[in-house]
Amino acid sequence: MTVFHNKKILVTGGTGSLGKELVRYLLANEHPEIVRIFDVDETEQFEFQQELKGHEDIVRFLLGDVRDKERLSRAVENIDIIFHTAALKHVMACEYNPFEAVKTNVIGMQNIIDVSIDNNVSKVIFTSSDKAVNPSNTMGATKLLAEKLMTSANYYKGARECVFSSVRFGNVMGSRGSVIPLFKQQIKAGGPVTITDPTMTRFMMSMSQAVELVLLSVGMSHGGEVFIFKMPTVNIQDLAEVLIEELAHKYGYRPEDIDIEIIGSKPGEKMYEELMTEDEASRSLEREDMFIIIPEIKDELLLFDESAYGATSIISQDYVSKNAVRISKDGIRTILKKDKII
């Protein structure tokens, strides 16, 4: 039996890209007792509900916003595990509407923490972003603060057994927050495909890797950690070229007919991403598949045991995208096909 067998699970943002994949995986493989899908988008909920017909005995769809603490409190009753994926994720939307990002990504996070403590939820896993590292935009800053809230919750939960941990993602290929849907739309229209800079690099992971990291972290977490999968970097121009080569014919064009246009970086956009800061690296552990950032004040976590991760002190420097292994165009193509993005 797995840690999810016969458990009551809540997925916030449960009709987003990652939320839906988590739900599909749990229903297909883990035999939970209940999966509650909490989301503010009623249309997405309706469509997902149609997809999940046959699971009515397990799945519950709850309409609500993480900003609404009273609604959350009802949703969390008798829940064992929470996957918190709800967030405002688009960088430019958060730049133009910064306090909306604060209300969802920060106040919403604190609401999740409060109701989890009140209901003695066993484990809460927050899905963060590499944009939380040395943030240069509002979205990244709110994700960083949400991580800090998650870690600190382990210090003031009292006698309750709640465990709060975070996972930090790179760009998830094919998710609604990634650049791939935009590139596909531009190719369908005949181009041009717009990229900010041909030398820009990003950490990329497949949706299946993202789901794996979230699920793996539940069994490994003691409280306060940030789990980060090791992942290759992708050059943005290479990604655009692969998509053009694979999709142009589908929309009635030749690949050479689709131009790539360099438009320059947007406000708050970095040329490269980092998975952790140098300070975080100095107190991190490393496994073959991931980095684990250990809380700074671990002495107050009574059950904390560094030896339980099967990890060593950090030795590699592959946590900055300009230095990390860059995946080839053929490698990009393989991942996109495996996850049925092309």
Task: Name the residue ranges covered by the structural domains of the chain.
Answer: 8-170+206-230+277-318
- Mean pLDDT throughout 215-219? 94
- Is the Cβ–Cβ distance between 167 and 226 less than 8 Å? yes
| Nearest CA among 292, 175, 177, 287 for reference residue 225 | 292
Instruction: With a cut of 90, say whether residue 112 has pLDDT above it.
Output: yes
* Average of per-residue pLDDT values in the chain: 92
- Mean pLDDT throughout 103-113? 98
pLDDT value at position 268? Answer: 73
pLDDT value at position 1? Answer: 62
pLDDT value at position 266? Answer: 78
Considering the entire predicted model, what is its pTM? 0.91
Highest mean pLDDT of the ranges 101-110, 226-235, 308-317: 101-110
- Mean pLDDT throughout 89-107? 95
pLDDT value at position 318? Answer: 66
pLDDT digits (tens, 9 = 90+) for 37-84: 999 999 999 999 999 999 999 999 999 999 999 999 999 999 999 999
Neighbouring-strand partners of residue 125:
83, 165
Instruction: With a cut of 90, say whether residue 267 has pLDDT above it.
Output: no
Regarding beta strands 171-172 and 201-205, do their DSSP bridges make them parallel or antiparallel, or are they unpaired?
parallel
- Fold held by 8-170+206-230+277-318: Rossmann fold (3.40.50)
- Mean pLDDT throughout 301-315? 80
Whole-number Å distance between alpha carbons of 62 and 21: 17
Instruction: With a cut of 80, say whether residue 298 has pLDDT above it.
Output: no
Q: Which residues are catalytic?
A: 131
Residue positions counted in the chain: 342
